[in-house]
Amino acid sequence: MQKSYADLSYEEVVRQYAKAVASVCLMRLNHWADAEDCFQNTFMKLYTSSPDFADQDHLKAWLLRVAVNECKSTLRTRSRTVPLDAAAAIPVFMNDSDSETAPAILMRLKPKYREVMYLHYCEGYNIAEVARILGKNENTVKTLLRRGREQFKKLYGGDDFE
């Protein structure tokens, strides 16, 4: 018998939510290999735990919350030291100095701002939902969004962003 998650098969869940989970992992970690690990761990937890979901919104929020927790765990445990002469050989994610696109600028923000801005503006979650996904107070999320917008404006060079 095939497992069902909010009336979706496991494969359908992965297809439908892979981009959102991968984006959260990349926004949080800014490191491709670690983001891949967290992505895989998130979907493995879904497969092995088989929680019940009220609907697909609940499923997506659960996946994003697990992804955020996986990223936090990775950040706590990773300790990288790279010799300066080797650092030049490491490719940096989205470091395209010729074009300062919005996603490239978003990646330059501190993770705490990048995370809330991505969930709010790219995934379309309201402040209460972002707070629940990240396990933060709503007022904290509002403050992080305001400060993130300020930082984004400084980097992007304009007042058109709201």
Check residue 78 and give its pLDDT. 66
pLDDT score of 155 more than 90: no
Q: Residue 8: beta bridge partners? A: 5
User: Band of the pLDDT at 10, cuts 50, 70, 90?
Assistant: very high
Domains along the sequence of the chain with CATH: 1-93 (1.10.1740.10), 98-162 (1.10.10.10)
The contacts found for 83-86 with CB under 8 angstroms, 24 or more apart, are none
Predicted confidence at residue 107, as pLDDT, reads: 80
More confident residue, 3 or 88: 3
Contact status, residue 38 vs residue 74, Cβ threshold 8 Å: yes
Coil, strand, or helix at residue 97?
A: coil
User: What local confidence, expressed as pLDDT, does residue 159 receive?
Assistant: 56
Arithmetic mean of pLDDT, 8-29: 93
Separation of first and last alpha carbons in the chain: 48
Q: What's the confidence (pLDDT) of residue 77?
A: 78
Residue 89 has what pLDDT? 42
Residues 6+ positions from 72 with CB-CB distance below 8 Å = 28
pLDDT, one tens digit per residue, over 93-146 is 444 444 457 777 778 888 888 889 888 888 888 999 999 988 899 999 999 999
Give the CA dihedral 92, 94, 96, 102, nearest 10 degrees. -150
pLDDT for position 66: 96
